[in-house]
């Protein structure tokens, strides 16, 4: 993808603060972090969203998510893993990536907070049936 910012980072055309790199995956600091140490883990090959990524590559990518999470836990109380698919889910860069966001007790960050809702009578069963059907 010629105009993809993360492809340009992978190719070294745009600089990044590289935390980790192997043949398949790169990890670098997010330029606008939710908290200090916020890292993006990116498969080098361009895929837009999770369903497009071959399982073997996804596994390699998650291995790096785990590596970074472990490293961040040496200096922080916890971390969030976030991963957005498509604009509706607030994906800004259309090259699949995982956010690993360091968290600390009482940091007050709004990451991973949503206003919870309720199912109407029978709606949960309907949802369950539909989802299971779509998994076939």
- Interface residue list for ligand 5GP (CB under 6 A): 5, 14, 16, 28-32, 40, 84, 90-93
Q: How far is the CB of 91 from Zn ion (least distance, A)?
A: 12
DSSP string, 52-118: GS-HHHHHHHHHHHHHHHHHHHTTSSEEEEE---SGGGT--SSS--EEEEEE-TT----TT------
Partner from ligand 5GP, Zn ion, none binding residue 16, C-beta < 5-8 Å depending on class = ligand 5GP
**Among Zn ion, ligand 5GP, none, partner that 90 touches (CB below 5 to 8 angstroms by kind):** ligand 5GP
**Minimal distance, residue 14 CB to ligand 5GP, in Å:** 6
Distance CA 104, CA 13 (A): 34
Stretch that binds Zn ion, among 17-25, 44-52, 77-85, 108-116 (CB under 5 A): 44-52
Main-chain dihedrals φ then ψ at residue 101, nearest 5 degrees: -115, 115
Q: Which does 111 bind (CB under 5 to 8 A by kind): Zn ion, ligand 5GP, none?
A: none
Tell me how far apart the alpha carbons of residues 50 and 5 are, in angstroms, rounded to a whole number: 18
SS3 122: coil
Instruction: Put residue 22 in one of left, alpha, beta given phi > 0 → left and psi -120 to 50 → alpha.
Output: beta
C-beta of 16 vs 72, nearer to Zn ion:
16
Q: Known catalytic residue: 97?
A: yes
Nearer to Zn ion, 24 or 46 (CB): 46
The residues assigned a catalytic role are: 97
């Amino acid at each position: 993808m010629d105009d993809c910012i993360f492809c340009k980072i992978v190719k070294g055309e745009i600089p990044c603060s590289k935390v980790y790199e192997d043949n398949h995956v790169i990890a670098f600091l997010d330029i606008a972090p939710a908290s200090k140490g916020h890292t993006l883990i990116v498969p080098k090959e361009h895929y837009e969203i999770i369903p497009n990524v071959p399982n073997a590559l996804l596994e390699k990518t998650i291995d790096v998510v785990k590596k970074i999470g472990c490293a961040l836990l040496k200096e922080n109380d916890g971390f969030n893993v976030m991963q957005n698919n498509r604009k509706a889910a607030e994906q800004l860069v259309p090259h699949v990536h995982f956010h690993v966001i360091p968290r600390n007790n009482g940091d007050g960050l709004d990451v991973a907070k949503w206003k919870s809702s309720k199912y109407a009578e029978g709606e949960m069963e309907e949802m369950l049936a539909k989802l299971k059907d779509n998994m076939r």
